[in-house]
A and B are shown apart, each in its own frame.
Chain A
Amino acid sequence: MLKAVILVGGSQKGTRFRPLSLDVPKPLFPVAGRPIIQHHIEACVRLKELKEILIIGYYAQSEMEQFVNDMQSLYNVNIRYLQEFTPLGTAGGMYHFRDQISIGNPKAFFILNGDVCADFPLQALHDYHMSREGKAMITIMSTEATRQQAVHYGCLVFDKDNGSVSHYVEKPSSYVSTFINCGVYVCSTEVFNLMSSIFHSRQLEYHGFGNGHNGRDQGHIQWEQEVLTPLAGTGKLFALPVNNWWSQIKTAGSAIYANRHYLELYRKTHPERLANAGTKEIGDGDGSLICTIYPDVYIHPTASVHPTAHLGPNVSIGPGVSIGPGVRIRESIILENAVIKDHTLILHSIVGRGSNIGCWARVEGTPSDPDPNKPFAKMDNPPLFNKEGKLNPSITILGCFVNVPSEKILLNSIVLPHKELSRNFKNEIIL
């Protein structure tokens, strides 16, 4: 029996995902028409032996409840949300809920960070872990990055023949290795014994020397620094390098990148979800034209799209969205109940829930995709502002219920929720 843990953090995290995370928890932000962590869940439920998925974080129960109920009814596995009482660090939360994870005695459990997206190779990771014949306590999914970018991730050095990790360092200041930690692991439950000893030495430190833990809760444990780094070189930590598509989802810009890859993945896993044929499915439709489609495009069944619209590539249209005549959308995500009026063009943008865009408007952002000409390049997550204090060009984001009047242009701008715009905006944050 197998289990999986999805670590989602809390609302104090994911601030770089604002303003999209202002009205919906980041893990529930829809990418390719599904909340980010539903893609994790779908990867998990493909494993026959997997019986339970535990989502751990410190979002309020009420924020996750509906989602968990929906998932529970969609998939034939047990899915629960476990709320940390306070941020306990990447490992502290799992240790706190160790009994919940261990119950039923799974032979192994997966850990998936909620802020990555990937074609998760869970079966391969599992098989590799098991093939280490009981030696492996943790196996890390690893991928290659460029020398420049690797230092922004956990870097690891491992034996190319047997996968044993000899060195692990989180976000080093100088180059260590181009192999990085993908935030996806498979673990044996004995990892809790290791965490237990860390926890108890921490308690000793805490009570013996006063509050020496930076004001954090005494149950706070950092997975990478306190578990992975010491475990490297002991022969119990392994890595499986893979070439599958993988990225972090840190900034809002990465949502569009993730959207493209999840849509592409649907071709293999769920072709029925794509509107690529450009006609309404037999079943809920009559085979008539939806609109002109440049694959890949996802359109929620409750969205209304005028047949003269042109959508794609890389477009997701949410529930209840209305797309008017002659609208053109490319490389964008349109969230639920947004209204896009006639002849409007949307490029490299995210349009928030309930937003309204008039006729002949232009909403355009600048993509921040990895350099396609550099092997192993990952997404850069540039800071909002450059050294001159100017806004770095980014995708354009409209928070929820933003109103863009007809004929206006919105270029490389970020608009916070509930704004009524009345003029053109370029390279601005509109509070």
Chain B
Amino acid sequence: MCGSENTRRGTRALILVGGFGTRLRPLTLSCPKPLVDFANKPILLHQIEALVDAGVVQVILAVSYRAEQMEAELQLHAERLGIELIFSHENEPLGTAGPLALVKDKLQASSEPFYVLNSDIICDFPFKQLEAFHRNHGKEGTIVVTKVEEPSKYGVVVYDEAGAIESFVEKPQEFISNKINAGMYIFNPSILDRIPLKPTSIEKEIFPAMASDHQLYAMELSGFWMDVGQPKDFLTGMCLYLTSLRQSHPEKLYNGPGIVGNVLIDPTAKIGDGCRIGPNVTIGPNVVIEDGVCIKRSTILKEATIKSHSWLDSCIIGWRSTIGRWVRVEGITVLGEDVNVQDELYVNGGQVLPHKSISQSVPDPQIIM
């Protein structure tokens, strides 16, 4: 009875945070990806809170770099949520399975199953359902699978009616399945016997072996799912998330004059007169939207200012950035932190690094260093 009370009573989870989040640059030049707000909450917190709801009391973050500020900030959230947060640092990249071996001791501290998550996933996290499904079939692992429209772009999962996985097929040219790995798993600690402490891919090396041993099951995800690791998917994921929020917590969405569809606005943001906001817009804390602004399908991060008469569609506006008057921003434009776009300009598909001042239109997609 020397093990901690927590690990016996609650389950544990490992989140594969990984590297620098280069796909979400220029945002991740200013803020570690797990802390970038998605729908006004850090991406990682969406996952941690869902895990806590499912009874998880210990979360291990597998990161490949040290970021003291991020760790300090996340510890505050951990205290608030009453969980233990452990950072596990890789000295060399260990792939998607190696990080499990690195924390083998902790994961083996209990014989209960534990969760593993890729960090960029947004969905209606089905952790309780996953645990029940997993315990029901009694095998070593369960992976969550989700349906996609174009399976030929992904690796698909082939399984029988009970969910027992038969095989994985990379980028199938002929239709064989439309279910892909959703990046969420639950495993019995015995999986650790399969993983060496060296760079190892869980998808390519561990799963096929488990499948051939009939130890791996698939559980279908019913709601939305998106990997929000890059700007285009970040925005698509936001639309899906807000639609889901409309069903689950409509009171969190904003209502008011000029609001169209699902819109999330932080209470500290200021919205001017004659604006049209939405559908699918997230506006962060202390953002100022002046009069006569139109925003669609976009995320405006903390403390940004959008001046009068501007029109924004499909863009992410970085922290403390300023958009001038009569500006048109569209085409998956991502402005980093503290970017200033002067009056009357047009920015289409610009990826603008932090602290830039834009004084000329960017009519075609390009990176502004």
**At the interface, yes or no: A342 with Cβ under 8 Å from chain B?**
yes
**At the interface, yes or no: A220 with Cβ under 8 Å from chain B?**
no
CB neighbours (8 Å) of A347 from chain B are 344
CB neighbours (8 Å) of B326 from chain A are 328, 343, 345
| Residues A342 and B346 in contact, CB atoms below 8 Å apart | no
The minimal Cβ–Cβ distance linking A232 to chain B, given in whole angstroms, is 47
Using a Cβ–Cβ cut-off of 8 Å, how many residues does chain A contribute to the interface with B? 16
Bitwise interface map of A from 397 to 429 toward B, beta carbon under 8 Å scored 1, else 0: 000000000010101000000000000001000
Bitwise interface map of B from 297 to 322 toward A, beta carbon under 8 Å scored 1, else 0: 00000000000110101000000000
The minimal Cβ–Cβ distance linking A178 to chain B, given in whole angstroms, is 33
| Residues B346 and A328 in contact, CB atoms below 8 Å apart | no
**At the interface, yes or no: A330 with Cβ under 8 Å from chain B?**
yes
**At the interface, yes or no: A362 with Cβ under 8 Å from chain B?**
yes
**At the interface, yes or no: B124 with Cβ under 8 Å from chain A?**
no
Instruction: Name which of B274, B291, B311, B313 has the most chain A CB atoms within 10 A of its CB.
Output: B311
| Residues A326 and B291 in contact, CB atoms below 8 Å apart | yes
| Residues A345 and B328 in contact, CB atoms below 8 Å apart | yes
CB neighbours (8 Å) of A328 from chain B are 309, 325-326, 344
CB neighbours (8 Å) of B311 from chain A are 343, 360, 362, 407
CB neighbours (8 Å) of A325 from chain B are 274, 292
Q: Which of A326, A330, A411 contacts B309 (CB 8 A)?
A: A326
**At the interface, yes or no: A364 with Cβ under 8 Å from chain B?**
yes
**At the interface, yes or no: B294 with Cβ under 8 Å from chain A?**
yes
Chain B residue at smallest Cβ distance from A330: B344
CB neighbours (8 Å) of B294 from chain A are 343, 359-360, 407
Give A330 to B294 CA distance when docked, in angstroms.
Answer: 21
Give A409 to B363 CA distance when docked, in angstroms.
Answer: 11
Given the interface contacts A326-B308, A426-B363, does A342 sit within 8 Å of B344 by beta carbon? Answer: no
The minimal Cβ–Cβ distance linking B347 to chain A, given in whole angstroms, is 11
Given the interface contacts A345-B344, A360-B294, does A409 sit within 8 Å of B308 by beta carbon? Answer: no
The minimal Cβ–Cβ distance linking B113 to chain A, given in whole angstroms, is 51
The minimal Cβ–Cβ distance linking B49 to chain A, given in whole angstroms, is 36
New contact pairs (19) apart from A326-B274, A343-B326, CB-CB < 8 Å: A325-B274, A325-B292, A326-B291, A326-B309, A328-B326, A342-B292, A343-B292, A343-B294, A345-B328, A360-B294, A362-B311, A407-B294, A407-B311, A407-B313, A409-B328, A409-B346, A411-B346, A411-B363, A426-B363
Using a CB–CB distance below 8 Å, which chain A residues touch chain B? 325-326, 328, 330, 342-343, 345, 347, 359-360, 362, 364, 407, 409, 411, 426
**Please, could you name 21 A-B residue pairs with CB atoms under 8 Å apart, sorted by A?**
A325-B274, A325-B292, A326-B291, A326-B292, A326-B309, A328-B326, A328-B344, A343-B309, A345-B309, A345-B344, A347-B344, A360-B276, A360-B294, A360-B309, A362-B311, A362-B346, A407-B294, A407-B313, A409-B330, A409-B346, A411-B346
